[in-house]
Amino acid sequence: MSAAAKGASSEGEGSLSSKAGDATGKDTPANGRDLLGSSVDDDKNPQWAQLWRDTTYVGVAAAAVSVAVATYNFAVYNGVIPDYVAQAMNGQLKF
């Protein structure tokens, strides 16, 4: 078994997820008010909860951008608005 396979296996000192849990404070409970409230205190939050919160924020932002792009593409395809992006790229859009 290679060194990488041994590191990711559950034999010996634990699986990769167990090692990540150990490094991020897996046994420390998180308080929702400290994590998501109006005054966030990251000194009280475990690292796993901070990673969860930040990943959620990135996912929400990516979803919002995707909805905006899809709405624009739908409107251009159906002729609701002109294709300003293509006009700007081709130098046809005058300001």
> Looking at the domain assignment, is residue 26 inside a domain?
yes
> Looking at the domain assignment, is residue 36 inside a domain?
yes
Cα 54 from chain centroid (whole Å): 7
Question: How many helices (DSSP H) and strands (DSSP E) are in the chain?
Answer: 5, 0
pLDDT in tens, 12-30: 577 777 777 777 777 788 8
pLDDT in tens, 74-92: 999 999 998 888 888 887 7
Q: How many residues does the chain have?
A: 95
Q: How many CB atoms are located within 10 Å of the residue 85 CB?
A: 12
Full residue range of the structural domain in which residue 11 is found = 3-89
Q: Identify whether the C-beta of residue 75 lies closer than 8 Å to the C-beta of residue 81.
A: yes
Domain count for the chain? 1
CA dihedral 14, 17, 21, 22 (to 10 degrees): 30
The terminus-to-terminus CA distance of the chain in angstroms comes to 64
Q: Which amino acid is at 92?
A: Q
> Looking at the domain assignment, is residue 94 inside a domain?
no
Q: What is the pTM of this model?
A: 0.66
pLDDT at position 34: 80
> Looking at the domain assignment, is residue 95 inside a domain?
no
